[in-house]
């Protein structure tokens, strides 16, 4: 838990016990999920993670993570879900809605994320509700919600009503316009975290890069502009 990227593990034994075998480690990959594998480190957002975790366990079953494009909503949502995997017997599932242009397309993306493609006939939103009704308690992330507007919001309201064991985490640039939604607004990273993120990403492009007193002012200026 807490390791988002694959890590190589080595088992070291003395020669006298070279034949000894241990069972596989209990890893999060054994839990039901389709969360995208992260290839970069996660920096900062401790306060937001705590607030979102509290919100996800609260009375509201829909949590909306709001903020402008590029602020890190998706990355934070995936990190939160990976932290909460063990709390949802039905798993944590990630539905990317960015490619959907219609309500039917959004429903198809949600169903695909849950591993149950929609039938050719029938109301797509109703089919997703039926899929959710039959699942154990789960968390469904609906990422990039805002461009589908009122139609998807109405469908989400129906899913909430029909599947009381499901919780939803929605990332959006704008409020959902649904009653009972817990909203968490995401702002820019604090300056120290922003500088640390800059240095870590710069090292991925150039391994010999390092933050130092000589370039600290330049890094701070770049982060402030971003």
- Tens of pLDDT, residue by residue over 14-46, are 988 888 887 777 665 566 788 888 777 788 888
Please answer whether residues 74 and 143 qualify as being in contact, where contact means their C-beta atoms are separated by less than 8 angstroms: yes
Please answer whether residues 132 and 179 qualify as being in contact, where contact means their C-beta atoms are separated by less than 8 angstroms: no
| Average pLDDT for 103-132 | 90
pLDDT for the residue 6: 66
pLDDT for the residue 151: 82
Measured CA to CA, the distance from residue 202 to residue 81 in angstroms comes to 27
| Average pLDDT for 136-161 | 88
Model confidence at 13: pLDDT above 80? yes
- Closest residue by Cα to residue 173 from 72, 84, 99: 72
Model confidence at 3: pLDDT above 70? no
pLDDT for the residue 7: 73
Model confidence at 94: pLDDT above 80? yes
In the chain, the percentage of residues whose pLDDT exceeds 90 is 30
Model confidence at 107: pLDDT above 90? yes
pLDDT for the residue 93: 92
pTM reported for the whole predicted model: 0.80
Q: pLDDT tier at 4 (50, 70, 90 boundaries)? A: low
Q: Distance of alpha carbon 55 from its chain centroid, rounded?
A: 14
Residue pLDDT, tens place only, 161-212: 999 999 999 999 888 888 888 999 988 888 888 999 899 889 888 988 888 8
What is the full DSSP assignment across 83-147? HHGGG-TT-EEEEE-TT--SHHHHHHHHHHHTT-PPPSSS-HHHHHHHHHHTSPSEEEEEES-GG
In the predicted model, what is the mean pLDDT of the chain?
86
Please answer whether residues 119 and 127 qualify as being in contact, where contact means their C-beta atoms are separated by less than 8 angstroms: yes
Model confidence at 139: pLDDT above 60? yes
pLDDT for the residue 10: 82
- Closest residue by Cα to residue 181 from 170, 192, 191: 170
pLDDT for the residue 36: 84
pLDDT for the residue 168: 95
């Amino acid at each position: 838990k807490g390791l988002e990227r694959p890590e190589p593990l080595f088992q070291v034994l003395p020669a006298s016990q070279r034949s000894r075998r241990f069972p596989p480690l209990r890893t999060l990959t054994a839990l039901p999920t389709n969360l995208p594998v992260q290839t970069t480190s996660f920096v900062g957002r401790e306060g937001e993670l705590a607030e979102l975790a509290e919100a996800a366990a609260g009375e509201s079953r829909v949590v909306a993570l709001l903020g402008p494009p590029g602020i890190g909503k998706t990355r934070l949502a995936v990190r939160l879900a990976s932290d909460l995997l063990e709390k949802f017997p039905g798993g944590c599932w990630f539905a990317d809605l960015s490619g959907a242009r219609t309500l039917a397309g959004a429903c198809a993306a949600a169903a695909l994320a849950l591993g149950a493609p929609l039938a050719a006939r029938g109301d797509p939103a109703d089919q997703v509700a039926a899929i959710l009704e039959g699942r154990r308690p789960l968390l469904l992330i609906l990422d990039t919600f805002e461009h589908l507007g009122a139609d998807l919001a109405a469908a989400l309201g129906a899913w909430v009503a029909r599947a009381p064991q499901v919780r939803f985490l929605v990332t959006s640039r704008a409020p959902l316009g649904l009653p009972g939604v817990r909203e968490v607004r995401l702002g820019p990273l604090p300056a120290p975290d922003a500088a640390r993120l800059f240095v870590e990403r710069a090292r991925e492009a150039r391994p010999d890069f390092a933050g130092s007193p000589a370039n600290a002012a330049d890094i701070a200026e770049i982060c402030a502009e971003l």
